[in-house]
Structure 1
Amino acid sequence: MSHECAGIQVESGTKLSAPLQHLKDEHPILLGMMDELEDLAEQLKAVGEAHTNLLRLREEVVLFMEELLPHSEKEEGFLFPMLGSYIGKETGPIVVMEYQHEMAKENFEAYLRGTFDLSETITAKEAEKLYNRVIEGCSILISHFHKEENVLFPMAENMLTDVDKAALMKHYKIS
């Protein structure tokens, strides 16, 4: 399937080099964790007992963030700037990808802040807002991963040089 991004035709079926495949291979684990987070947030939102359930979900969000942040850093710290040197960093796909990272993280961080010193008397409305932060963060990242896998990674594969890809491999500690 072909997509256009930043005026460039991109084939989503492109075979990826090791560093890009490495990033893509991290997605299924994160997607599975997000599916579980979304399901748990929806279930807990429906049953009440907000204080206990929000703290239970908090533990899962912390575990998820421990997996997500190193993955995000690989993209934000290395891939996005490298690709941005070819396609620009002010507009286009890199700006969108960074914005989605920021928005997803903000949702999860707002949830963590909101549950850090959680009152036993939290209202149902306040609890729902917190649950929705997790659900929204997951929703943003699921869409984001789809864009990376179908547009950004194939574009990077076609634009980055072998030297660039070798540098990514070194940064990602892939042999």
Structure 2
Amino acid sequence: MEISNYMKDEHRLCDEEFAKAEQAVSSGDFDEAFRHFEEFMVDTLKHFDKEEEILFPAFEAATLSTEGPTQVMRYEHNQVRGLLEQLKDAIDKADKERFFSVADTLMILLQQHNMKEEQMLYAMCDNVLGEQAKDLVEKMKAR
């Protein structure tokens, strides 16, 4: 459960940061929205990097497969990256309607993505990586 617990906690932190950005946009405070959104974006992209550069390669090496769940997660990460750019643009333009339109899409994608990771992939990583799990979490924490 070492990997599952650590990664789930990061998901929750990112969710909280995004909620703060949404609240600021809702109240029309785009300076505050940008600060919270930037924190959300940096942490989300850092989370993706940890998965793509540390966790997924270890899982793929252990399972001898680059197809399957990690391939799907990378694809979804790229979709999220595109939506993050759209959200940043909406905040820069103080476009509340556009922000919430893109935010709805992002939240649906992230909820589905996180559920797949939390209910399947992270548990698989904990099982397959066994003794490596603690070291991998330490590497991710160091990022």
TM-score normalized by the length of structure 2: 0.77
Query: Residues 2-25 of structure 1: CA distance to partner in whole angstroms, max 9, x if unpaired?
Result: xxxxxxxxxxxxxx1x34422222
Query: Residues 58-87 of structure 1: CA distance to partner in whole angstroms, max 9, x if unpaired?
Result: 332112112222222111111112212315
The 1-side partners of 2:64 and 2:102 are apart by 32
Identity of aligned residues (%): 24
Q: Which 4+ stretches in 1 moved above 6 angstroms?
A: none
1:1-175 superposed matches below 5 A: 16=1, 18-38=2-22, 43=26, 56-85=32-61, 86=63, 88-89=65-66, 91-116=67-92, 118=93, 128-162=97-131, 164-173=132-141
- Conserved in 1, the CA contact under 8 Å of 2:17 and 2:40? yes
The number of residue pairs the alignment matches comes to 141
2:118 aligned counterpart, secondary structure? helix
The 2-side partners of 1:108 and 1:173 are apart by 23
TM-score normalized by the length of structure 1: 0.65
- Conserved in 1, the CA contact under 8 Å of 2:17 and 2:37? no
Q: Which moved more, 1:28-37 or 1:77-86?
A: 28-37
- Give the 3 Å change call, closer, same or farther, for CA 151–19 of structure 1 in structure 2: closer
The 2-side partners of 1:65 and 1:80 are apart by 21
- Conserved in 2, the CA contact under 8 Å of 1:19 and 1:172? no
Q: Which runs of 5+ in 2 are unaligned?
A: none
Query: 2:60 corresponds to which letter in structure 1?
Result: G
- Conserved in 1, the CA contact under 8 Å of 2:10 and 2:47? yes
Q: Which runs of 5+ in 1 are unaligned?
A: 1-15, 45-51
For residue 113 of structure 1, report the CA deviation from its aligned partner: 3.5
- Conserved in 2, the CA contact under 8 Å of 1:37 and 1:134? no
Q: Which moved more, 1:80-89 or 1:69-78?
A: 80-89
Q: Name the one with the larger strand percent.
A: 1
Alignment RMSD: 2.8
For residue 31 of structure 1, report the CA deviation from its aligned partner: 2.2
State which structure, 1 or 2, has the greater radius of gyration over its C-alpha atoms.
Answer: 1
Q: Name the one with the larger helix percent.
A: 2
The 1-side partners of 2:114 and 2:17 are apart by 13
